[in-house]
Amino acid sequence: MKKPRISIHWFRRDLRLEDNHGLFRALSEHGDVLPLFIFDTNILDRLEDKADRRVDFIHRTLSEMRERIQSAGGALLVEIGAPEAVWARLMDRFEITAVTANHDHEPYALERDTRIGAMLEEKGIPFTTYKDISIFERNEVLKDDGGPYTVFTPYMRKWRSLFRPEMLDPFPSESSLSRFWRTPELDLPTLEIIGFERTDLVVPRKTLTDSLLADYQENRNIPALDGTSRMSTHLRFGTVSVRELFRRSMAKSTTYTNELIWREFFMQVLWHFPHPERAFKPAYDNIPWRADEAGFKAWCEGRTGYPLVDAGMRELNATGLMHNRVRMVVASFLTKHLLIDWRWGEAYFAQKLLDLELSSNNGGWQWASGSGCDAAPYFRVFNPKLQQERFDPELNYVKNWVPEYGSANYAPPLVVHEMARKRAIETYKLGLADRTGKIEPQQQLFN
DNA sequence: TTTTGAGTTGTTCGA
DNA sequence: GTCGAACAACTCAAA
């Protein structure tokens, strides 16, 4: 039997039909496009909790995309497995003329695409990938001497100087949906077949309004208000186009636009320094972190006795998201008050965050711990009580997540702020002064 | 090559 | 209550 002759667009973190660069190129240049998504068991097998909101989010999104593709006469192919095995099966089943995808610069994704690209090339199938998730990527924004930026503000200035409005022109993929390969519908495997469960996921809103942008600078730091855009999850999975967000925000809010540029800043940091497991400033790997399992557990569960910290951790556990201001507070608390390695916090966030972006999560944790690019100086220790008084004075956020706050049932503080602050500064100072090697934990101050 | 100005989000202390 | 300095230098980026 003759194999169907098709091209494939491989969806990964670009789960939308509108303004999708790679999909647009597939539809306009190749035609007979079979859209593909792979539930990658290399990734899924490492997820401990089978009620994972991210898998649920992807599944729900695919379900919606599938409907739209089917009403355009096409079909969405959803496979489960390791990418090599899946692609081997696809090459047996189809005569593939071309494969498109959008860039993904995380270390695993780069390695995966290199392997799959080689596999396809061996059979003479062109595998072309496109820039889609950022305005600038890789080494497109460099210093005049050719090196990468490691400080945000000059990066942002250069970003803006290189920016041209036409970079935001949409790729109208949604107007060529008739060029999908016309075939009867294909099954979408259930979450159960994939090995996961339906969750309590609440899909964040997808609209970025002018009024939110107008008040963004003022409201974004108040966790009790709905003052942040909630776009992080959509940016993570590509359910919105980042070009669309820049189109909406550039003239309306410099602060918001800079947040989008921060995202690209951290992406290029990871691209140029692909060692997220190391402290960006090596001296910070000499800090004698406390291996405090009990303290870490209390932090994870929101039982530190510091209400803003506990509220944040409970928000994370309950929803998979946490307000940005509170992310800074809980990260400062873990790395400074508890002197626990930022990698522990990063790993916990990676396990829980619906909007998990490796570059931003790593960049943010290293920022909070002081070890990162352009990070907070080591002696800057957030005072969780003061942060609460400043950003949640009415306790609206705290009481929402920590209803027992103020009663006898609420946990006493895990550490006394004044002691913890002194201990953090002293311990950091000690670690940073020692550039020769690791200080043994016995040498810790204040035990 | 040297110089100069600057660097996301803070806290505490003392005048 | 307000305000500036200290915290601690250090490194980056660009002229």
Domain boundaries, chain A: 1-132, 134-169+208-273, 282-445
Q: How far apart are the C-alpha atoms of A8 and A168, rounded to whole Å?
A: 25
Strand C contacted by A143 CB (< 7 A)? yes
- Please tell me the number of Cα atoms within 13 Å of A112 on its side-chain side: 22
> From the CA of A13, how many Å to the C1' of C2?
51
Query: pLDDT tens for residues A34-47?
Result: 999 999 999 999 99
pLDDT at A412 over 50: yes
pLDDT at A74 over 70: yes
Which residues 246 to 275 of A reach strand B, CB within 7 A? 258-259, 262
pLDDT at A441 over 50: no
- The structure tokens listed for A21 are 């660069």
> From the CA of A21, how many Å to the C1' of C14?
35
Query: Smallest CA–C1' separation from A153: which nucleotide?
Result: B7
- Look at the domain A1-132 and name its fold: Rossmann fold (3.40.50)
> From the CA of A331, how many Å to the C1' of C7?
20
Which residues 342 to 401 of A reach strand C, CB within 7 A? 377, 379-380
Strand C contacted by A155 CB (< 7 A)? yes
Domain A282-445: assigned CATH number: 1.10.579.10
> From the CA of A382, how many Å to the C1' of B13?
16
> From the CA of A206, how many Å to the C1' of B10?
33
Query: Smallest CA–C1' separation from A263: which nucleotide?
Result: B8
Protein-contacted positions of strand C (CB under 7 Å) = 7-9, 12-15
pLDDT at A374: 86
Domain A134-169+208-273: assigned CATH number: 1.25.40.80
pLDDT at A436 over 50: no
Strand B contacted by A376 CB (< 7 A)? yes
What global pTM score does this model have? 0.95
Strand B contacted by A158 CB (< 7 A)? no
pLDDT at A395 over 80: yes
> From the CA of A333, how many Å to the C1' of B14?
27
Q: How far apart are the C-alpha atoms of A38 and A89, rounded to whole Å?
A: 12
- Please tell me the number of Cα atoms within 13 Å of A47 on its side-chain side: 22
pLDDT at A432: 86
H/E/C letters for each residue in chain A?
A: CCCCEEEEEEECCCCCCCCCHHHHHHHHHHCCEEEEEEEEHHHHCCCCCCCCHHHHHHHHHHHHHHHHHHHCCCCCEEEEECHHHHHHHHHHHCEEEEEEEECCCCHHHHHHHHHHHHHHHHCCCCEEEECCCCCCCCCCCECCCCCECCCHHHHHHHHHHHCCHHHHCCCCHHHHHHHECCCCCCCCCCHHHHCCCCCCCCCCCCCCCHHHHHHHHHHCCCCCCCCCCCCHHHHHHCCCCHHHHHHHHCCCCHHHHHHHHHHHHHHHHHHHCCCCCCCCCHHHHHCCCCCCHHHHHHHHHCCCCCHHHHHHHHHHHHHCCCCHHHHHHHHHHHHHHCCCCHHHHHHHHHHHCCCCCHHHHHHHHHHHHCCCCCCCCCCCCCCHHHHHHHHCCCCHHHHHHCCCCCCCCCCCCCCCHHHHHHHHHHHHHHHHHCCCCCCCHHHCCCC
- A222-to-A326, A347, A390 alpha-carbon distances in Å: 9, 26, 9
> From the CA of A142, how many Å to the C1' of C15?
17
pLDDT at A435 over 90: no
